[in-house]
Amino acid sequence: MTWLSTSITGFGFVLLAHACYSAHEHSALHSTSTASLSSLTSHGPSVSAVAALPIDISIETIVAILTICLGLVLGTPELRPIQWRVWAGQIEREGEKGFMNGDGEVDKDYVGNPFKVLESRPGFVDIRKQRKEFAEWVREGGSVEG
C-alpha cells in the first residue's frame, strides 16, 4: 500500500509543478505582451493587469491537488478504535497483525495485550502445563547447558 500512495503523491507533485510553471510562464508572457502593446498604443494604463488563467492550467492544478490528496490519505496510518472494548477485542482477535503499518512492521507504540498484567498474576499460572513441559524436558535428557 505504501508504494501505491507514494507513487500517487509523486505523480500529483509532478502535475502540480508543471501547472505552477505553466501559470508562471503564462503570467510572464501576458505581462510582457501587454506592456509592449500598451507602449505601442500608449493609451494609458492597461485594462487588465493579469488575464484569467487558461482553463487547461486550472484543470491541471485541481487534478494535481486531488491526486496528491488521495495519495496522502492513502498514506495515513490506520485509525484505531477509541472504545476500550472494541480496541481490546481487536487486539485479542488480530494480535500484532491489526497494528501493522504499510511496510508490514508493527507500529512502535503498539502496547500489546492490555490485560497482560492481570493474566500474568500468580493465580493465573497454569501449573499443570508448566509441570508437563518440565517433565518433557527431563525426559529428553535436558541439562542446564542444553
Partner 1 sequence: MLTERELQISPIVLESVQHNTKTLTTLHNLTASLFGVGAGILGLESYPGFIFYLVFSLLTSALVYAFRVRPAIIKNSISGGKAGAGIERYFMGSMELWTGGLFEGLSGFVLTWTLFYGLVRA
Q: Which long-range contacts (CB under 8 A, 24 or more apart) does 84-90 make?
A: 84/114, 87/114, 88/114, 88/115
The span from the CA of 116 to the CA of 35, in Å, is 76
d(CA 66, CA 90): 33
Q: 106: which DSSP letter? A: B
Which is nearer to partner 1, 38 or 75 (by Cβ)?
75
C-alpha cell recorded at residue 93: 482477535
Least distance (Å) between residue 69 CB and partner 1: 6
* Smallest distance from partner 1 to CB 43, Å: 23
Residue number, 51 or 135, with CB nearest to partner 1: 51
Window 47-86: contact mask with partner 1 (x via CB under 8 A): ---x--x---xx--xx-xxx-xxx-xxx-xxxxxxxxxxx
What whole-number distance in Å separates Cα of residue 88 and Cα of residue 54? 55
Burial of 48 (0-12, 13-18, 19+ CB in 10 A): exposed
116-145 residues in contact with partner 1 (CB under 8 A) are none
User: Is residue 95 within the footprint of partner 1 (CB under 8 A)?
Assistant: no
Residues 5-44, mask of contacts with partner 1 (x by CB under 8 A):
-----------x--xx--xx--xx----------------
Residues that bind partner 1 (CB under 8 A): 16, 19-20, 23-24, 27-28, 50, 53, 57-58, 61-62, 64-66, 68-70, 72-74, 76-87, 89, 109, 111
